[in-house]
Amino acid sequence: MNLLADALASGTVTTGEAVTFWILAPIALGGAIGMVLARSAVHSALLLACTMLSLGVLYMLQSGPFIGFVQIIVYTGAIMMLFLFVIMLVGRDSRDSLLETLRGQRLAAIGLGIGMALLLCTGLARGIGSVTAVGLDEANANGNVQGIAADLFTKYVFAFEVTSALLITAAVGAMLLAHVERRKGDRPGQKELSRLRFRKGNYPGPKAGPGVFATSDSVATPALLPDGTESERSISPVVPVRELTPAEAAPKGTDGGKRK
């Protein structure tokens, strides 16, 4: 007698539970597959979030509300981390590069993937085949949170303490990698900065805005100095200096071209 048939036969799976499962399971699976296939890294992160949320709801469905909400709270933060990392490292429109830089990674990935799949399959097979489900009624007798606490602080106290060590190791590692240590004197203070600003040859005043005193208010039109010459410093170096055509200099219609 396996777990699935057992549950179905005894009628412990209610209709609502079954319906929710069949809605959420494809979402979770689809999110996971989409995460691997998505070209944009942010879309990947979003699909991962989708999978994690579905899993959280599935936990709630199986009388584990605490673990369900914890899944949501912790994973939203964790995925946010991933998200920030992605934003910082790659541009918004950058896509996956299809160039392989690591030699033999495809082979290694296939090997590891098969190994992982085998491991999961044996675990699942054992789980479905030989374990009899007892349900969570007994464990949740005094409330779900209380039940978890009771186990966590008595039976699994060692694992609990080791978790903190694991967390701190990871955090310190990340800090060491990401943090550049600087002493107080390494940064120029206000005095140094102001001296740099007033150094001989530096013009300390603000730069003239583009388009000021000019024929057009475009950013590409340099400001005119009092003697009538154009000020090169008034335009951003990324903008090419050019004389605008009358059409370009005309006010841009923002009314959808109705009045032109």
Q: Which residue has the tokens 């943090």?
A: 179
Residue 210 near residue 222 (C-beta atoms within 8 A): yes
Q: How far is the CB of 120 from another protein (least distance, A)?
A: 25
Q: How far is the CB of 257 from another protein (least distance, A)?
A: 6
Q: What tokens were used for 252?
A: 């841009």
Q: How far is the CB of 197 from another protein (least distance, A)?
A: 10
Residue nearer to another protein on the CB measure, 103 or 179: 179
Chain centroid to CA 106: how far? 25
Residue nearer to another protein on the CB measure, 6 or 128: 6
In sequence order, what are the residues at sequence separation of 6 or more whose Cβ sits closer than 8 angstroms to the Cβ of residue 234? 207, 208, 209, 210, 212, 222, 223
Residue 214 near residue 222 (C-beta atoms within 8 A): yes
Residue nearer to another protein on the CB measure, 82 or 128: 82
d(CA 158, CA 160): 5
Q: How far is the CB of 104 from another protein (least distance, A)?
A: 30
Residue nearer to another protein on the CB measure, 1 or 175: 175
Q: Which residue has the tokens 């896509």?
A: 95
Q: How far is the CB of 60 from another protein (least distance, A)?
A: 6
Q: Which residue has the tokens 């920030």?
A: 84
Residue nearer to another protein on the CB measure, 121 or 150: 150
List the beta bridge partners of residue 223.
Answer: 231
